[in-house]
Chains A and B, each alone.
Chain A
Amino acid sequence: DTGVSQNPRHKITKRGQNVTFRCDPISEHNRLYWYRQTLGQGPEFLTYFQNEAQLEKSRLLSDRFSAERPKGSFSTLEIQRTEQGDSAMYLCASSPTGIGEKLFFGSGTQLSVL
């Protein structure tokens, strides 16, 4: 499978715990995006990387959120001290070099904070 891969598919955690999600983009895609989607809404931008550089972060991304892409390949999104309002689908997308707008999404990680 050469699509965008996200793990885990589902995560249930208690409020206050830390969680980490992983995204493996399509090989050779140099841009990687994180979006968050709540029920009945469109995806909302969180942050994006060009290779290993994090170029933009949304104001939605509080200090409890951190994302990394250490070698310009896979990326991780960590949420510290989770809150119930963090419950959402976290989507990762990648795009090819030179065609930055065409996003290819993974199936997402559904986070439920109890």
Chain B
Amino acid sequence: GENVEQHPSTLSVQEGDSAVIKCTYSDSASNYFPWYKQELGKGPQLIIDIRSNVGEKKDQRIAVTLNKTAKHFSLHITETQPEDSAVYFCAGILTGGGNKLTFGTGTQLKVEL
């Protein structure tokens, strides 16, 4: 069925380095791809999103890129800080999945001092 695959499952970086998380999707008609950050004991929070008519979007230290041909999209965090440590989820609206988000399995990001 339609799904979203995410990797890596865990990622450790040194403070100040960049972090990249990648997701692939199976539905070529998908048109909306958000990224969520989830801290311990909290619900996921939207941090950035991109639509299929755009190849890249930036918001300060966070950027998302989309390659529709290859059916993958990535989250880039530059100049990482300890407060970036959290679980990050990609998601997509899959046309075979109705009007709802389908989430990836998450990436545990740890930013080390």
Contact = CB atoms under 8 A, between A and B. Distances in A.
B34 A101 contact: yes
Contacts of A43: 44, 89, 101, 103
Q: How large is the interface on B (under 10, 10 to 19, 20 to 34, 35 or more residues)?
A: 20 to 34
Interface stretch (A13-21, A68-76, A80-88, A104-112): A104-112
Given A41-B106, A42-B89, A42-B106, A100 B41 contact: no
Contacts of A101: 32, 34, 49, 93, 101
Interface string B62-96: 00000000000000000000000000010101000
Contacts of A91: 43-44
Contact of A41 (B46, B100, B105): B105
A56 B98 contact: yes
B57 to A, nearest CB: 14
Contacts of A107: 41-43
Interface of B: 6, 32, 34, 36, 41-46, 49, 89, 91, 93, 97-106
20 contacts: A33-B100, A40-B106, A42-B89, A42-B91, A42-B103, A42-B105, A43-B101, A45-B97, A45-B102, A56-B98, A91-B43, A101-B34, A101-B49, A102-B34, A102-B46, A103-B34, A103-B101, A104-B46, A105-B44, A105-B45
Please provide the 7 A-B residue pairs with the shortest distance between their CB atoms, ordered closest to farther. Answer: A105-B43, A42-B103, A45-B100, A101-B32, A42-B89, A107-B43, A56-B98
